[in-house]
Structure 1
């Protein structure tokens, strides 16, 4: 499977990305495998990786001493670092923080303020494959408490990030929004006016409806809602 790391490194290479921002770093599984980008910016309320791991990474990648680490919520990061962000326009943002509609939308809209004109935002977890993975919990701990004993629980919680894709497509024609059909769904947001006419399914959805949309609605209208794109087409392999 082509993973988010593969897609991010591909975008960094073909777009000559200078500044990379990652929201929701956790153990650094993605962040420490990013190649290229002169400056990488990590944001998470709690970095769940050791100081030793960070040092080992820098020893192997000495050119990355410009990396910036902000151990705080994304809301606080955007509220407190206007000057830094204006002086360092982001070329590529990866959003993998709290997997809720409200927070993923907020992170996306905040990222857009500091995204370069040719920049791209990638959102993880936009294409959940079952009702449990898509359950709108407050966080993964709540999802585990609710479903850990359920026979269908796979320890996968995508939450309702997919609703952010629906909201953006419905309300922001100045953006082009799609989802790559790989690695739990990778949302792609670009500052390019969309050329598409929205599918008729959007006619039945108001902004007030979006937070209450259920997984069954996504399952019935997946391609239309998400603008689902095969990963091979995105990578130019088909």
Structure 2
């Protein structure tokens, strides 16, 4: 399944009240949204037909989230769904996740694009292949080590996979508190040390199987409250284990 089709299903079944997209390009992924949306990209050239109330910002995510009220375009409504597809470099994906979680609802879902490189060459920081993920895959190990409270699922969409992160805690500052040490460890020189388990995709969910489960309904029904994260992670684990098997229960890949 191509990732646009999967994103369309996320929008349809989660019915987010507000959507955030970082990295618009031609608007292909933004075209899947049907709610109030905030879209950020310093160099977007939209050719897709959009079907949402969209606030477009031709700026970087750093600049956008430095403004006094990043939720002003949504009337204060936090984001229930975020798609991170900016620069394919670890440090940018890392910062974008910190920003996105801070302004998400506790039942929100943050989706990374390009987390499943098919080769070490595709994962290079210096692009030298046609298809290119960069080193965004490093977020898997970071979340496993520093944020085990999150529910993290790898989804094998074409061409290079998605990472779904939920059971969010907007008040959690662990990643920002350890920002410098994380950046020092995970911004690595090429060739990238991509874990073999990631290249083999042994714990990656086929997208159709996730969509056939009741996981998205569990997320859509979840309460939006400060204490929702712990309960939600348990519900997600139960749903995935029951309908997809224990091998796919929320987890991340370590080196």
Please tell me whether the aligned partners of residues 180 and 186 of structure 1 are also in contact (alpha carbons under 8 angstroms): yes
1:155-166 matches, within 5 Å, as 155-166=130-141
Residue in structure 2 matched with residue 198 of structure 1 by the alignment: none
For the residue of structure 2 that corresponds to 1:111, the secondary structure is helix
Cα deviation for residue 35 of structure 1 reads: 4.4
Aligned residues: 199
Of 51, 65, 70, which residue of structure 2 is paired with 1:82?
70
Superposition TM-score, scaled by structure 1 size: 0.74
Structure 1, 12-21 or 123-132: larger mean CA deviation:
12-21
Question: What SS does the corresponding residue of 2:9 show, helix, strand or coil?
Answer: helix
Instruction: For residue 71 of structure 1, report the CA deviation from its aligned partner.
Output: 0.7
Q: Which residue of 1 aligns with 2:80?
A: 91
1:21 corresponds in structure 2 to 20
Q: Superposed, which structure 2 residues align to 1:1-238 within 5 Å?
A: 2-32=1-31, 34-36=32-34, 38-49=35-46, 53=47, 57=49, 61=51, 64=52, 66-80=53-67, 81-84=69-72, 87-137=76-126, 143=127, 147=128, 153=129, 155-183=130-158, 184-191=160-167, 207=182, 209-212=185-188, 217-222=193-198, 227-236=203-212
Contact persistence 1:179–1:226 (CA under 8 A): no
Displacement of 1:178 in angstroms is 2.2
Cα 1:108/1:168, change in 2 over 3 Å: same
* Structure showing greater Rg: 1
5+ residue gaps, structure 1: 138-142, 148-152, 194-205
For residues 203 and 95 of structure 2, the distance between their equivalents in structure 1, rounded to whole angstroms, comes to 21
Instruction: Give the CA RMSD over aligned residues.
Output: 2.7
Q: Distance in 2 between matches of 1:166 and 1:226?
A: 16
Unmatched 5+ residue regions in structure 2? 170-180, 214-243, 245-255
CA contact (8 A) 2:123 2:192 kept: no
- What CA deviation, in whole Å up to 9, does each residue of 1:137-173 have, x standing for no partner? 3xxxxx2xxx3xxxxx3x1111000001210121102
Please give the alpha-carbon distance, in whole angstroms, between the structure 2 residues aligned to 1:96 and 1:226.
24
d(CA) in 2 for partners of 1:107 and 1:116? 16
